[in-house]
Amino acid sequence: MNFDPIILHPELQFQTARSGGKGGQNVNKVETKVELRFDVANSVTLSEAERQILLEKLANKLTNEGVLVMTHQTERSQLANKDKVVAKFDALIRKSFEKPKPRKASKPTTQSKEKRLQTKQRNAEIKALRRKVEE
């Protein structure tokens, strides 16, 4: 399923707070930390199947009410932090809808089998040399 998270952007809620880190006095005055909230459980844009997929895949990132909360605070401006947290949100949603690639069973190569047997033989010889010779 190829899902475009941009359709969810109108439902995003943003909140700002003072953040730590570099910035000097700016950190103490300006609220640059941005917190993104997306209510997965009550989203009107998502279909029921899409909602279930997100609730399953993001279970450890959701609150008890089914709200996804993400923050970003490394940049000095609120706008830059908002852009970064939206990019993180988009990447997370896209990743949630990706189908895992099926694993193809493979057989060991002839050379790897031979190497394994040689290693076993060498270890057996080393252990044989450690044994005491009984007379």
Q: What is the pLDDT of residues 20-75, one digit of tens each?
A: 766 677 777 788 889 999 999 888 888 899 999 999 999 999 999 989 999 998 88
Local structure of 66: helix, strand or coil: coil
Q: Whole-angstrom Cα distance, residue 88 to residue 93? A: 9
- Say if CB 50 and CB 40 are below 8 A apart: no
What's the pTM? 0.70
Q: Characterize 75-98 residue by residue with b for buried, 16 or more Cβ atoms within 10 angstroms of its Cβ, and e for exposed.
A: bbebeebbebbbeebeebbeebee
State yes or no: pLDDT of 116 exceeds 60. yes
Query: Using only C-alpha atoms, what is the Rg of the chain?
Result: 27
Phi–psi pair at 79, nearest 5 degrees: -65, -45
Q: What is the pLDDT of residues 64-103, one digit of tens each?
A: 998 999 999 888 888 999 999 999 999 999 999 998 899 9
State yes or no: pLDDT of 135 exceeds 80. no
Q: Which fold has domain 5-96?
A: Double Stranded RNA Binding Domain (3.30.160)
User: Encoding tokens for residue 32?
Assistant: 């640059």
